[in-house]
A and B are shown apart, each in its own frame.
Chain A
């Protein structure tokens, strides 16, 4: 059969963020896949070099809209390590709590997206409705649903009161019940099984070879979790299991994430019950002594690595971020090969990819040598003209 190469993305209804997959097809079957990245480069690492450490906190938070706490915590651990700051136990516990709440909201989001990609939209609607509970917890504690900004250099910014504690526990109780139902539904429903079993296979040795991380690796039987392997924050004092599964397919990734939710609820209760007393932050000087630090963190999608080089000023000399999706993309190329074209969106979604977020419409005009920002009216005019040239008239709308 003759081979044909088709591009999947960068703009594709099944992709939430721009990224390009060149798929070599033989009929409906994929015989090769290459991944092209770089559609969402925002120059954040460079931007970090001319911001102070405290300003960078808010920049780094925006590396990802879902794991915002993971990135800042990883970054701030580097900063505190260089500053030799003793972060109070209570602050570390609150950071851990946010880490787990974030994992819950991220995994519920994924469960919804996976349901959506399978064509099981009921699951999508229900999980996203219930996800509001954990988003409310985050807003209650930090003041925002997505960019919590709870971290500050030397500790956390907001304390947790007894009422807040009770409210969070109440909402987590509700989620526990719902999650049990989703686990039953997702593992027993024949439509889910038919759609996910033996799709996007990633055997144990390939997962190791390609350096898969997070739930993607754990669903291939690789018990790899930074929280256990190299405990940070207060994870060494907490009791939890590393969930693995050995079906090596999308179904395994679903089960791993669903069971991790249960572990996270357990952790949240443990942290809230044993919240140490004491201050929530210490003062850290603006300038850091010269040095280097590397740290890793188990984000909902896998291991996140940050590298920081300080040069004695109040700004970093170099910051490097390795997000978990980058580590998992090599595995996606393998998972797609030999599969069917119709499974592509599901296989890609199964690693829970997170490319990055949108950009604003600022245009650099080299003739005038300045940046121009389009107003709403201009933007509309531009769009109408663009489509007119292609023979479609939207002017009447």
Chain B
């Protein structure tokens, strides 16, 4: 006759092992270095080409013109006045974003950055709409 509950010996050895679970949120969660988290924005680099808006599968990103534009640089001697570089903001809708990082990959100026920030849950919808200036 076959004896059931062979798994018992295995269970007993596990009584003396460290738990497999971690104590998150009391301990910091362990993430791998290229984990895809919240997308950050570096305004001075952005040229407003809107490629990120076009590739985003979740319509999570908007690049509007900033309310305050920097003044044009003083024209150099003998040169025509150069137009000021326009400044752009980024509106990131965290409740839409699927954290695919396609925008980061497609941005020609590397103005979007991927962070390892993942603790983004909130019961207030307003907090999910981040306005990076």
Contact = CB atoms under 8 A, between A and B. Distances in A.
Which interface class (under 10, 10 to 19, 20 to 34, 35 or more) fits B?
20 to 34
Among B10, B57, B99, the one with the most A-chain Cβ atoms within 10 Å of its Cβ is: B57
B20 A129 contact: yes
B4 A149 contact: no
Contacts of B11: 122
Interface stretch (B28-36, B41-49, B83-91): B28-36
A190 B57 contact: no
B57 A57 contact: yes
Contacts of B102: 54, 58, 149
Nearest to B8: A122
Contacts of A139: 31-32, 35
A143 B32 contact: yes
Contacts of B6: 185, 188-189
Contact of A376 (B2, B32, B123): B123
A58 B20 contact: no
A143 B57 contact: no
A186 to B, nearest CB: 10
A191 B4 contact: yes
Given A140-B32, A143-B34, A144-B36, A185 B7 contact: yes
Contacts of B56: 55
B7 A122 contact: yes
Interface in A370-393: 373, 375-376
Nearest to B56: A55
Interface residues of A, number: 34
Given A147-B100, A157-B105, A190 B125 contact: no
A179 to B, nearest CB: 14
A62 B99 CA distance: 13
Interface string A241-261: 000000000000000000000
B3 A190 contact: yes
A158 interface: yes
B60 to A, nearest CB: 11
Contacts of B3: 190
Given A54-B102, A58-B57, A191 B5 contact: yes
Interface string B12-45: 0000000010000000000110111000000000
B15 to A, nearest CB: 13
Interface string A39-71: 000000000000110111111001000000000
B94 to A, nearest CB: 14
Interface in A119-144: 122-123, 126, 129, 132, 136, 139-140, 143-144
Contacts of A132: 20
B127 to A, nearest CB: 12
B55 interface: yes
A375 B100 contact: no
B50 to A, nearest CB: 14
B58 interface: yes
Interface string A293-320: 0000000000000000000000000000
Nearest to A188: B6
B107 interface: no
B101 interface: yes
Among A51, A52, A55, A123, the one with the most B-chain Cβ atoms within 10 Å of its Cβ is: A55
Given A132-B20, A147-B100, A185-B7, A55 B55 contact: yes
Nearest to B1: A190
A188 B2 contact: yes
Contacts of B111: none
Contact of B125 (A143, A193, A375): A375
Nearest to A57: B57
A123 B32 contact: no
A123 B7 CA distance: 9
A153 to B, nearest CB: 11
Contacts of A376: 123
B100 to A, nearest CB: 5
Interface string B46-69: 000000001111100000000000
Contact of A144 (B4, B10, B58, B99): B99
Q: Which 5 A-B pairs have CB atoms at the shortest separation, nearest pair first? A: A58-B57, A55-B57, A143-B36, A376-B123, A190-B2
Given A58-B100, A147-B100, A181-B10, 17 more contacts: A54-B102, A55-B56, A56-B57, A58-B58, A122-B10, A126-B10, A132-B20, A139-B31, A139-B32, A143-B36, A149-B100, A149-B101, A157-B105, A185-B7, A188-B2, A190-B3, A375-B123
28 contacts: A51-B57, A52-B54, A54-B55, A55-B56, A55-B57, A56-B57, A58-B57, A58-B58, A58-B98, A58-B100, A62-B98, A122-B7, A122-B10, A123-B7, A126-B10, A129-B20, A143-B101, A149-B36, A158-B34, A181-B10, A185-B10, A188-B2, A188-B6, A190-B4, A193-B2, A373-B125, A375-B125, A376-B123
